[in-house]
Structure 1
Amino acid sequence: MNAQPQIFGTYLFDGAAAQRGYALNKMCYSFNSAANREAFLAGEEGYMRAYGLNEAQAQAIRARDVLGLLHAGGNVYYLAKFAGILKLDVQDLGAAQTGVSKDEFKARLVAQNNQPDHL
């Protein structure tokens, strides 16, 4: 069996992570509906129980710990739905994932975009 490649600062989302995070991602997908977002905010604990989140996932939700959610099998695209409830955008998620402030993350993006392409 081949080892999965390690890329610094990333979390591999593979089949095992998808299975581990199924309940969490299903719950986050439900946030496409405004009524579901409101229901979550009105009773987070009950909402998490209804989707069958495990304790690590529920604790990460309670702590608003995006990195913890990634470790718990969260898919960044589904977690973006949860982040929206918290009034966070994709740059906030990127900053959290890389361990820098949002301003530092944005500066990195600008610097990266200003690099010449090397083919």
Structure 2
Amino acid sequence: MALDKPYKDIPGTTIFDADMARQGFALNQFSLSLMKAPNRERFKADERAYLDEWPMTEEQKQAVLDRDYNRMMALGGNVYFLAKIFSTDGLSFQHAAATMTGMSQEEYRDMMLAGGRSPEGNLYKEENNDG
């Protein structure tokens, strides 16, 4: 029986719940594998071959190849596990988060230093009269 998920009505929000954990299990396990230097080296040498060793969906593999972190999260990726991918690429968490928001690193940094995003427009669709 599916649980009621009122948080699914929040625009632009991906919640990592039990269903997402199941969906993204192999993607997250792949990501965690990059904690070991030999695995990072194998991945960097031939990304596709390394990805093909994991029972991920083709869509998950393509999201990794494209470094589309928003898509990876929509397909069950947990941002803290996905951090192993951008760390393997030599990128900071700030850089990756900026790409996920469509901002430059500087814009993202300034927004966060100013207190983060405004809640304006981030209400339930019903509260925005969009629902």
Pairs within 5 Å for 1:52-71 = 52-71=55-74
Structure 2 partner of 1:100? 103
Does residue 1:110 correspond to 2:108, yes or no?
Answer: no
TM-score calculated relative to the size of structure 1: 0.86
Pairs within 5 Å for 1:1-119 = 1-5=3-7, 6-112=9-115
Distance across 1 between alignment mates of 2:29 and 2:5:
28
Cα deviation, residue 109, structure 1: 1.2
Deviating runs (4+, > 6 A) in structure 1? none
Larger proportion of helix? 1
Which range is displaced more, 17-26 or 91-100?
Answer: 91-100
TM-score calculated relative to the size of structure 2: 0.79
Cα deviation, residue 8, structure 1: 4.2
Cα deviation, residue 39, structure 1: 0.7
Letter in 2 for 1:3: K
Gaps of 5+ in 2: 117-131
For these two proteins, the number of residue pairs brought into alignment is 113
Cα deviation, residue 102, structure 1: 1.2
Cα deviation, residue 100, structure 1: 1.5
Cα deviation, residue 3, structure 1: 2.8
Quote the RMSD (CA, aligned, Å). 1.6
Gaps of 5+ in 1: 114-119
Structure number with higher relative contact order (C-alpha < 8 Å, ≥ 6 residues apart)? 2
Identity of aligned residues (%): 36
Distance across 1 between alignment mates of 2:64 and 2:111:
28
